[in-house]
Structure 1
Amino acid sequence: MRGFLTPKGLIGAAIVIIVLAIAVFAPLIIPDKLATAMDMRARLSGPTLAHPFGTDQLGRDLFYRVMLGARTSVLIAGSAVLMSIVIGLPLGIVSGYYGGVIDNVLMRLVDTLLSFPALLLALTISAVLGPNLTNTIIAIGIAFTPFLARIIRGEALRVAQMPYVEAARAAGTTDAMMIVRHILPNIMPAIIVQGTISLAFAILAEAGLSFLGLGTQPPDASWGLMIQASRDYLDVAPWTALVPGAAVALTVLGLNMFGDVLRDVLDPRTTS
C-alpha cells in the first residue's frame, strides 16, 4: 500500500476521486438548463467572476458544461471498459486455460480485430450503428475487447501452469471450479490494472468520436463535442478549446498515474 503514498499515487488518486465526484454529483447540483442556457450578449466572453471558464459561441457557461461533460465521459468510458471486460474475460480465460485448437481459433479472431487500430475500429462501428451515446459505448467496448482478451489470456495461461493448479486438477477438480476458484481470483489484479488504464484510452476515444461527430450529440455536454465546436473560434476565444482539452488531459493523466501505482501495488512481479 506504500505505493499510494507516493506523490504519483496521491496525485493520481486525487484526480480520479475529483473527476468521479464531479461526474456523480454535478448533474444533481447543476440543472441542465444552466448548461444549455444561451446568452448571445455574452458569447465568447473570457473568464470572469460570473463565468469562471468563459462562455462558448452560443453564450453558454463553459464551467457548467465542463462539469456536466465529466458525466458523459465517465459514463461512456466506464460502460465501454466494463463491456470489453465482460466480453474479453471469458474469451481470454477459455483460450488460456484450454489452449490447443480452442486457443488458436479464439486468438485468431482476436488478432483479426487487433489488426485494426482501436480508434479506426470504433469509428467504423459508430458510423455503421449511428452516432448516439449507446452506440458510442458499443463501438469503444468492441474496439477495446481484443486488447483485454489478449492480456487476460496471457495471465490465464500463466496461472494454469502453476503447481497448485496442477495439484487441484490431479485431485479431480472440475474445469468450472478450477476457473472460479484458482484462475479468476489470481488474474483479477491484472484485470483491475488494465481496466483502469483502459479508462484513460476510452475517454480519449470518446472525445475523438465526439470531435468527429460520431459520438455524443448536441445538446448533451461532451468534452470532445466542446473541442469540436471551438475550431472556428480558436483565434478569438482559445479558452473554448483549452478548457475542455485541459479536462481531458488532466483526467487521462490522473488515470494513467493511478493505473501505474495500482500495477506496482497489485502485481508482486513489479517494483516501484
Structure 2
Amino acid sequence: MKWLLPIWQSPWATRIAFLTIILFIAIALSAPWIAPYGLNDSVGDVWEPLSALHPFGTDSLGRDILSRLMFGGRITLLVAGSATLLAFIIGITFGFIASVSKGVLDQILSRINDLVMSVPTLILALVILAIVPINLFTLIILMAILDSTRVFRLAKSLSADIAVMEYVEMARLRGERTFWIVTHEILPNAIAPLISEFALRFAFAVLFLSALSFLGLGVQPPYADWGSLVRENKDGIIFGVPAALIPGVAIALLAFSVNAFADRFINQSSRFRKE
C-alpha cells in the first residue's frame, strides 16, 4: 500500500485536517470525563453569554453548550461512522456480486438500486422516519441503506474495470473460484478509491444526520447531536445569541477536515496508480 504516505510527509493543510479529525474523536470519546457538566444538567440562566464558567455560553434551557457539544459529538460520530461503515459493507458486497455474476442477478440488484436512488434521499428518509419509531438503531440502518446505493454503483464500476484485467483473467484460467477472485484480486486493487469514498461518505453522513436532527426527525432526547443543538437554539439567532452557531461551526469544521483529508488521499492514490 505504497499510496498511503505518512501523514507528516503531507502538506500542512492535510496535517491540520488530520489533527482536527483526531481531536474531534478524542473529545467525543472522553466526553464523560472531561465535560464540565452532564448532558442535560441545567446550570445557568437561558442563553448566558460566553464566560469563564461557560466558555460557549448556555442554551435555551440553561444547559452548558460546551458540555452538550462534547456529548453531542459522541452521538454524531457514532451514528455517522456506524452508518457509513454498514453502508460500505452492504454496497461493496452487492456491488461486487452484481459485477461478477452478470445476468439476471445483476439486473435485479441494479434495478433495485436505481429505484432507491430515483427518490431524493432526504425526502425518502423523512417519509420513512415519519412512520417508524425513531431511535439510534433506526437512524443507523436507514442512513446505511440509503447511502449504500452510492457505494453499490462505485463498487460495481470498480469491479467491472478490474475484472477485465489480465491478472484476473489468469486467475480464472487457473480455475480460481469467484469468491477467491473477488477477495484476492478485485478488492485489493479497489481499496484505495473505496477508502477515499469512505471519507467523503462519512462527511455526507454527518451533514445528513444533522439535517434530519434539525428537522426534528433525527436524534431524539435524551440524546443530542450537533444538528439537534442547532435546532434547539435557532431562535437565539434573532436576538444575536450565538448558541446555534457554535454546533454549526463544529459540523462545518468536521466536514471540511474530512473532505480535505480525503482529497489529499485521492490525489495520492491516483498518482501511485499511474506510476
Question: TM-score normalised to the size of structure 1?
Answer: 0.93
Q: 1:26 is matched with which residue? A: 31
| 2:99 alignment partner, one of 96, 103, 106 | 96
Q: 1:131·1:213 contact (CA, 8 Å) conserved in 2?
A: no
What amino acid is the match of 1:119? Answer: L
CA distance in 2, matches of 1:125, 1:84: 17
1:264 and 2:267 matched: yes
The 3-state SS of whatever aligns with 2:243 is: helix
What amino acid is the match of 2:145? Answer: I
CA distance in 2, matches of 1:2, 1:79: 26
The 3-state SS of whatever aligns with 1:125 is: helix
For structure 2, the 5+ residue unaligned runs are none
Q: 1:224 is matched with which residue? A: 227
CA distance in 1, matches of 2:165, 2:128: 39
Q: 1:152 is matched with which residue? A: 155
1:233 and 2:236 matched: yes
Q: 2:39 is matched with which residue? A: 35
User: 1:2: Cα distance to partner?
Assistant: 6.9
Q: C-alpha offsets along residues 5-46 of structure 1, whole Å, 9 cap, x if unaligned?
A: 113311221111111111211234337x52311135x22111
Q: How many percent of aligned residue pairs carry the same amino acid?
A: 35
| 2:114 alignment partner, one of 86, 102, 111 | 111
| 1:12 alignment partner, one of 2, 11, 17 | 17
User: 1:238: Cα distance to partner?
Assistant: 2.8
Counterparts in 2 of 1:53 and 1:6: CA distance versus 1, 3 Å:
same
Structure-to-structure mapping, 1:119-198, within 5 angstroms? 119-198=122-201
What amino acid is the match of 1:6? Answer: P
Q: 2:96·2:155 contact (CA, 8 Å) conserved in 1?
A: yes
CA distance in 2, matches of 1:267, 1:21: 30
User: 1:189: Cα distance to partner?
Assistant: 1.5
Q: 1:68 is matched with which residue? A: 71
Q: Any runs of at least 4 consecutive aligned residues in structure 1 with deviations exceeding 6 A, and if so which?
A: none
User: 1:153: Cα distance to partner?
Assistant: 0.5
Q: 2:43·2:63 contact (CA, 8 Å) conserved in 1?
A: yes
What amino acid is the match of 2:42? Answer: M
1:201 and 2:209 matched: no
1:44 and 2:84 matched: no
The 3-state SS of whatever aligns with 2:30 is: helix
Q: C-alpha offsets along residues 65-84 of structure 1, whole Å, 9 cap, x if unaligned?
A: 11111101000000101111
CA distance in 1, matches of 2:168, 2:43: 66
RMSD, aligned CA: 1.8
User: 1:125: Cα distance to partner?
Assistant: 2.5
CA distance in 2, matches of 1:182, 1:212: 44
Q: 1:123·1:139 contact (CA, 8 Å) conserved in 2?
A: no
CA distance in 1, matches of 2:226, 2:124: 21
Q: 1:251 is matched with which residue? A: 254
Question: TM-score normalised to the size of structure 2?
Answer: 0.92
Aligned residues: 269
Q: C-alpha offsets along residues 107-131 of structure 1, whole Å, 9 cap, x if unaligned?
A: 1111111111222222223222222
CA distance in 1, matches of 2:273, 2:262: 13
CA distance in 2, matches of 1:5, 1:245: 28
For structure 1, the 5+ residue unaligned runs are none
